Every structure is written in C-alpha cells, then in structure tokens.
Amino acid sequence: MSKILLGYLELVVGQSNSLHGYPKRINIYKHSIVKIGRNEAECDFVIEDASVSSIHCIIWSVLFDEHSVPMFYLKDYSLNGTMINDRKQLKKKFAYILCDGDQILVNDTIIVFRQVFQNSPMKSLESLGFQKNIKNWEIANKIIGMGTFGHVMVAYKTDYDRNSLSSEKIRQKENYAVKIIKLKPNKLDKEAKILLTLDHPNIIKVHFTYYDSRDNYYIFQDLIAGGDLFSYLAKTDCLSSISEMESLIIVYQLLKALSYLHSKGVAHRDLKLDNILISSPETVYPKIVLADFGIAKRFATTANSNTNRMFTIVGTPEYCAPEVGFKSSSHGQPIPVVATPAMLSTQQFCKGYDMKCDMWSLGVIAHIMLTGISPFYGDGNEMNIVKLSRIGKLNFELKQWGGISVEAQSFVASLLHVDTKERMDSKQCFDHPWILKHMAKLEKIYKKKY
C-alpha cells in the first residue's frame, strides 16, 4: 500500500542536518508520526540545540476515510515549551489542531506547517446560522466533521487562566469539540442528557450544552485527537491484528467503561471499532475513549435485570448480539438501525434483551483486534452475518489464532455465547483468567494513563 501524503513541515529559520534538499522539508503521511527534537535516533526532524528536548514535540494526522477531511495535531513534550504563531505557548501533552500556514517555534527554530490537500472554503458561522460566542465558550470557523447529524467544529474556553504566564508568553487556548445539531425544544438530545450525568476517563466528556433560538443544539465536549479504533487497525487496505498485550489493555479500558456504564443503568447498544476513539496515537498502549451514545438506553434503576429489558432493534449487525433481534426483511436484508413501530410489532423478540448485548459487541471487538478478522463476517453480507451470529460457532483453528493464548480464546468465547445466561457480564470479565493473570500490569499501565 502506497503512502498517502497529507502535509509537510518546512524549515524557515534554523538548521537541521536531518533534512535534505531545498527547501528543507519533511513529509507527513497518513498513519505516521513526525517527532521533532534533539535525539537523532528517535526524531525525524532533528534540531541540534542543547535547549531543545530529546523529543520536543510531535505531529500526526488523522484521516478516517477518503471522504473525510484530514486533521493535523501538535503535542508538546518539552521542558522549555513549544510555541505557535504569535508566540502562543502550548500546554504540555495537550493536542492542538494545526492549520495550513501555522508557524511552530522550537526555541530559535521556526517551522511552517503546510497541508497538501486544501479544504474547500467553509461557510461562516453566521451563514450557517450558528453562534460564535456562547457564555464562556467560543466556536472557531474550523470544521472537524459533518453529516446528516449536523456539524462538529472546534471550540475554545474563553475563561482560561492568563495569570500563570508572563506577559510575553500567552497560552494557546485548548481545543475542544462542539457538535451542533438541529433539534426541536421538545426533543432535546438523549445522548447529551446521558453523557452530562457520566464522569469516567474512558467515556467522552460533555462539558456544556446550549439550545439557541434557531433550534440549534450545541454539545461542547472533549476533542479526542487520535482517530478511531477502526482507523488505528486499518494500517493497510484491510484491518490488521495487534499484539495480544495491546488488545488486552484496550479490552481492559473498555471493561472499565462498560462496568461503570452498567452500574449507572446505561446500555451503550452500539459498541464498535468506529465508536472507540484513540486519545493519542503515539503511545505504545493508547488510551481509549468510548463515544457515540446516540442509541444508548438509560434505566431508572439497576436493581432488577428482569425489568430492565430493551425491545428496540438497534445497532450494527456485525457487532450486534443475536438476542437483539435483527431479522430478514422481504429483500433479504436485516432490519435497519432503528426499526419502525410496524416492523417492531411483527419482528422483534418478545423477550427483549439486557445490557449483555454490550458484552457480545466487546467479544467481536476483541476477536478483531486479536486476529484482524470479524468472527461472523463471512462473505460480508449483513444477513449472513446475522445468521452466523445466531449459530455463534467460533473457529479457533484458523491460522489467525496461532500464537494467541488459550486464556484470550476463552475470554472471547465467553463473551460470544448465544445463550445470554452463559455470557459473561462486565463484572465477571474481571475475574476471567485472561484478565486476572495480567491484573498487576494492567492496573499499573491504567494508573499511568489516568
């Protein structure tokens, strides 16, 4: 697979023996990380200056697919600081969005960032009907994503503390994301309502919501800069497996999130690679954040699992537990993500399903990370996926399972039980041998991240 060039860095002021040609440049490719610093062995852009840190800062790009806009991020790791444009100092270990033409200052060295593919000119906030300033928030004219749901844009807090810095060093404002959707007042977003009540390091954090006079609903949340787990695994034209330890650490973080959610009476119902975000791509074991609670369900109480039943047929067939009830339509396709009342009256299971639907999805995700293949994907036809998941037969003789421990295989099998009584819940997972065997290391890594 050929490298996809997305941007480059150009040396404007200063010296670097690691760069060749004129002008002196280094390319930024999809799925690549550019390290800037003094260490010749580790850095791509070497600056020979004693005041520059071994790894001073890093730059990476995120491109979800060929239809999305590439995003570029800069993170400072230095002792003496990294500045951008008008000598605005970056907060250490915090990801900032780069824009075409931004100047990066590493002591006396000046580097200009250039984007290869220019985004089409964006409409102003005013022409889109959006407010620029809302209480202590400011929305920038930078788009992160858009779709039928609305727009996702960059936002800043306007109440950051300037007093901790000298007058010569103005802090670059931290980046957040704001989702803006059209919504009637009587249909305030269920996702935001749920997320506002949650507080967990592995769950996307919503800070503030606002409803304006034009029926725009603003959801201000953390900006997660590392892309999603699908992109993280798709290093080539198809998904690739990752090491068993890295898979285990991601599973452990997901278990922490699911255990917390289920204890609060919340079922996610759409757990998949696309909805698991990577906080930052440069670490060996990345921190993950669970997002997209658009079809999540909250129960008033967690006490009685018999009454906490769900009946709406939702989710993504590849990750969906068989008891959720996807069935064939007259065209041989599974029921859509949200079925109509008429469909539900004839096609849903009368018993419904509970929060263990999330555990099945976790089993599918673990299977993909460990092997690079989906357990019931078959020929890719969604109806065949539904049929195969109902059978629930796993094949651990496949070559992709070679070298994977029996404990990991047992863990996946215990999550992909068709019989929900046999399927592990989030609490039981922590007592499984695959988790228990590595618990000390898992907790040590987890505490380092949080």
Neighbouring C-alpha atoms within 13 Å toward the C-beta of 417: 12
Say what the pLDDT of residue 21 is: 58
Say what the pLDDT of residue 15 is: 76
Q: How far apart are CA 348 and CA 313, in angstroms?
A: 7
User: Is position 76 annotated as part of the catalytic site?
Assistant: no
List per-block mean pLDDT (blocks of 10 residues) for the chain, which spans 450 residues: 85 77 81 92 92 96 78 94 88 90 93 83 82 94 79 87 50 86 75 91 95 92 93 84 96 98 95 94 87 88 65 85 66 43 43 91 97 81 73 88 97 95 96 97 89
Q: How far apart are CA 297 and CA 289, in angstroms?
A: 19
Q: How far apart are CA 207 and CA 215, in angstroms?
A: 20
Phi and psi at 381, nearest 5°, equal -70, 125
Domains and CATH numbers, the chain: 5-115 (2.60.200.20), 125-160+173-222 (3.30.200.20), 227-297+317-325+338-449 (1.10.510.10)
Name the residue among 226, 227, 235 with its Cα closest to residue 280: 226
Q: How far apart are CA 266 and CA 261, in angstroms?
A: 5
Which position has the token pair 């022409």? 127
Please state the pTM of the whole predicted model.
Answer: 0.85
Which position has the token pair 């002008």? 23
Contact call for residues 389 and 320 (beta carbons, < 8 A) = yes
The helix-helix angle for 406-415 and 356-371 (nearest 10°) equals 140
Phi and psi at 157, nearest 5°, equal -85, 140
Catalytic pick among 49, 270, 292, 354: 270
Say what the pLDDT of residue 339 is: 42
Name the residue among 169, 158, 163, 147 with its Cα closest to residue 88: 169
354, 333, 337, 256: CA torsion to nearest 10: 50
Q: How far apart are CA 236 and CA 240, in angstroms?
A: 8
Six-digit token pair at 291?
């997002």
Say what the pLDDT of residue 341 is: 44
Say what the pLDDT of residue 316 is: 85
DSSP class of residue 196 equals: T
The H or E element that residue 74 is part of is strand 71-76
β-bridge partners, 74: 59, 96
Q: How far apart are CA 272 and CA 144, in angstroms?
A: 21
Strands 176-182 and 216-222: antiparallel
The H or E element that residue 441 is part of is helix 439-449
**Given CA atoms 400, 402, 405, 407 in this order, what sign does their dihedral have?**
positive
The three-state secondary structure class of 253 is helix
